[in-house]
């Protein structure tokens, strides 16, 4: 079992587009430089599979099949797993057995200084001022998260925000998936 | 005395050919009376349902019926091509996998070629705190950028963000901020690197 690396973060995205599902995981150092990047080939369920799985198909594909496969594929053990979809947070924590958050930009007014935390009123959801020249980030933990876990994650993010932009990897991963999809289409012609 | 036979002969000669005489039989035909009632017989139109497990078809054992029919001995007597075994009613079923496969690919080297992007953060620095000199005005501010690792910077003129290509071999972690500014009267824009934390005068 790899030991948690306090100098790396892992980002996960899973997308559904035009009936096909795909996902990617990026492990990066605290500068945003990739350590590992893996993606799934698009999964397009057949009509039979749609009938057999019914309404559970999307949940099964996104929250179990793709997510678990991506997590297992990452060789490093990052200090923190980051997603941007609420419904991935619980399974992400379950499969990684590690710290996991949902991370988003916000339009909230800046807090006084880097490291400041403000509760949103929702259980486990906070505004965190990661650096002094941006709006605070909106961070969602699982409900009833322990206070020391919140502190650990906030310290890690404040530290990382000095050398990288914390939500930027998501857009880079999306670009990568689009590039890969274009390559696959090109090969198919 | 004239007998009756003589009279008949006499009259028959007299009327011969004038009056046809027919005999008439009063005996009636026996009438057949038919019964219009029908007996209704009920036949079952549906046979008993038989459910056969699809597993039985896939195991191929039905084809083994051939052995009890002794097809081998038959085939020996026929010249030419041998008759291949044939089991009437043989059904091949296709197994459907319920597990959806996920194919994972590595793409780290190609991913490392993608630039990181920094958005303009100038709006988060109050105007009177921005680092600027006389006759200059700031257009944008980007951070954090690992200055020693930068191999290329490109301004995205569509949305004002900055693309950064890093040289990942360099292990530097020294972050800096970057002002984009313009001097009054100059056409070109200029850049100024600053230490993080000193992006504002305070």
Q: Which two tokens stand for residue B185?
A: 């009267």
Which residues are bridge partners to A119 per DSSP? A126
From chain B, the residues in CB contact with A162 under 8 A are: 144, 175, 196
Residues of A in contact with B104 (CB under 8 A): 38-41, 69-70, 73
Residue of A nearest to B202 (CA): A132
Residues of A with CB under 8 A from a CB of B: 26, 30-41, 43, 45, 48-49, 52, 61, 65-66, 69-70, 73, 110, 131-135, 161-165, 168, 171-172, 175-176, 179-180
* CB-CB under 8 Å, B111 with A40: no
CA atoms within 13 A on the CB side of B70: 3
| ipTM value | 0.89
Assign A46 to helix, strand or coil. Answer: coil
* Distance between A146 CA and the closest CA of chain B, angstroms: 30
Least confident of A66-70, A142-146, B126-130, B198-202: B198-202
Q: Which of A43, A133, A162 sits opposite B199 (nearest CB)?
A: A133
pLDDT single digits (tens) B108-157: 888 999 999 999 999 999 988 888 888 899 999 999 999 999 999 999 99
Q: Select the residue from B99, B110, B116 to test the A interface by mutation, using most A Cβ atoms within 10 A.
A: B116
Judging by beta carbons within 10 Å of its beta carbon (0-12, 13-18, 19+), is residue B127 exposed, middle or buried? Answer: exposed
Which of B100, B117, B196 has the CB atom closest to A49's CB atom?
A: B100
Write out residues in chain B with pLDDT < 70, as ranges: 1-2, 15-31, 33-38, 40, 42-99, 198-202
**Which one, of A6, A2, A5, lies nearest residue A155 by Cα?**
A6
Closest to A176 measured CA to CA, from B108, B145, B37, B153: B108
Query: Which contiguous run of DSSP H or E holds residue A149?
Result: helix A147-161
Taking only the tens place, the pLDDT of each residue in A82-113 is 999 999 999 999 999 999 999 999 999 999 99
* Distance (Å, whole) CA B143 – CA B159: 16
Question: Which of B104, B110, B143 lies closest to A40 in CB terms?
Answer: B104
Angle at A139 between CA A133 and CA A142, to 5 degrees: 165
Q: How far is the C-alpha of B120 from the C-alpha of B59, rounded, in Å?
A: 67
Q: What is residue B96's predicted lDDT score, i.e. its pLDDT?
A: 56
Question: Which among B96, B108, B114 has the least Cβ separation from residue A36?
Answer: B108
Model confidence at A2, pLDDT cuts 50, 70, 90, reads very low
Q: Whose CA is closest to A36, among B105, B63, B143, B187?
A: B105
Q: In angstroms, how far is the first alpha carbon of chain A from the final one?
A: 43
> Is the separation of the CB atoms in A43 and A21 below 8 Å?
yes
Contacts of B17 (CB under 8 A, 6+ apart): none
pTM > 0.80: yes or no: no
Residues 6+ apart with CB under 8 A from B183: B135, B136, B190
Q: How many CB atoms lie within 10 A of CB A53?
A: 16
Q: In the prediction, which pLDDT does B31 show?
A: 66
| pLDDT at res. B171 | 84
* Cα–Cα distances in angstroms (integers) from residue A137 to residues A81, B66, B148, in the given order: 16, 74, 27
Q: What is the DSSP letter of A169?
A: H
Contact B112, A34 (CB under 8 A): yes
Contacts by A182-188 with C-beta closer than 8 Å and gap 24+? A184/A41, A184/A42
């Amino acid at each position: 079992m790899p030991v948690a690396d306090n100098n790396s973060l892992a980002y996960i995205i899973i997308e559904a587009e035009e009936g096909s599902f795909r996902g990617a995981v990026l492990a990066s150092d605290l500068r945003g430089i990739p350590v590992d990047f893996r993606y799934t080939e698009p999964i397009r369920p057949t009509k039979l599979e749609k009938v057999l799985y019914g309404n559970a198909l999307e949940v099964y594909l996104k929250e179990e099949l793709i997510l678990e496969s991506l997590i297992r594929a990452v060789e490093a053990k990052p200090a923190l797993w980051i997603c941007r979809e609420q419904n991935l947070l619980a399974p992400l924590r379950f499969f990684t057995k590690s710290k996991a958050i949902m991370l988003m930009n916000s339009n909230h007014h800046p807090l006084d200084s880097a490291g400041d935390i403000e509760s949103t009123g929702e259980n486990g959801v906070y505004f965190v001022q990661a650096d002094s020249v941006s709006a605070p980030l909106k961070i969602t933990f699982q409900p009833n998260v322990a206070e020391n876990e919140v502190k650990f994650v906030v310290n890690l993010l404040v530290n990382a925000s000095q050398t990288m932009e914390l939500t930027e990897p998501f857009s880079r991963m999306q670009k990568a998936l689009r590039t890969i999809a274009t390559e696959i289409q090109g090969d198919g012609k | 005395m004239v007998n009756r036979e003589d009279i008949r002969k006499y009259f028959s000669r007299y009327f011969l050919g004038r009056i046809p005489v027919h005999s008439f039989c009063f005996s009636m035909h026996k009438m057949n009376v038919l019964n219009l009632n029908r007996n209704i017989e009920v036949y079952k139109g549906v046979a008993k349902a038989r459910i056969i497990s699809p597993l039985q078809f896939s195991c191929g054992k039905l084809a083994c019926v051939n052995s009890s029919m002794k097809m081998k001995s038959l085939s020996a007597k026929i010249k030419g091509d041998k008759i291949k075994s044939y089991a009437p009613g043989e059904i091949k079923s296709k197994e459907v996998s319920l597990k959806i496969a996920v194919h994972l690919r590595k793409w780290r080297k190609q991913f490392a070629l993608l630039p990181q992007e920094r958005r303009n953060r100038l709006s988060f620095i109050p105007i009177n705190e921005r680092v600027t000199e006389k006759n200059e005005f700031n257009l944008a501010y980007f951070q954090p950028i690992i200055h020693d690792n930068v191999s290329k910077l490109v301004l995205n003129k569509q949305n004002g963000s900055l693309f950064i290509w890093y040289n990942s071999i360099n292990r530097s972690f020294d972050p800096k901020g970057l002002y984009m500014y313009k001097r009054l009267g100059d056409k070109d824009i200029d850049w100024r690197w600053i230490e993080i934390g000193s992006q504002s005068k305070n």
